[in-house]
Structure 1
Amino acid sequence: METRWVGSDGLEVTVAVRGGGQVLRLSRHGTHLADLYSVDELRRFVDLADLCEVITVPFGERAACRRHEAVP
């Protein structure tokens, strides 16, 4: 599952591999802006407090079964 954060004005941060190491890939509306090597570098481009992590919620038959079991 991919880790992803979104912010205002269409900003998106994902984790990518470049040159054998991890980078924080910054894009806006799908256009690549920069590959950053640290959170400090990312901070120069975006207010970290504005970023929200995107969480994928499972769906389908298995998720529905679990949901029904949890409901009293």
Structure 2
Amino acid sequence: MAIWRGPEGIVVEVIVLDDQPVLRISQDVGGRLYLQGYCASVTELAQHGIDLAQLVEDGRAPA
């Protein structure tokens, strides 16, 4: 699945949760990921203070 990274260690991933695709928002702090929340759509990212224009796709394959 796709992963995007933003400023201040923000990580946005597409995952499947309860058979539904969602966006998982985490923050990378010192190599550890801390869950910030889930969004059902891209428009909900703004409610978490995430600007789509600042996200960059991570070219690495997820583990």
TM, length-normalised to structure 2: 0.80
Give the letter aligned to residue 49 of structure 1. Answer: A
Match of 1:51 among 45, 50, 55: 55
Higher alpha-carbon Rg: 1
Gap runs ≥5 in structure 2: none
2:8 counterpart SS class? helix
How many residue pairs align between the two structures? 56
CA RMSD of aligned residues (A): 1.4
- Structure 1: which 4+ aligned runs deviate by more than 3 Å? none
Structure with the higher strand share, 1 or 2: 2
Cα shift at 1:50: 0.4
Pairing 1:1-72 to 2, within 5 Å after superposition: 2-29=1-28, 30-45=33-48, 46-56=50-60
Q: Secondary structure at the residue paired with 1:44?
A: helix
Identity %: 34
More helix by share: 1
Higher relative contact order (CA 8 A, sep 6+): 2
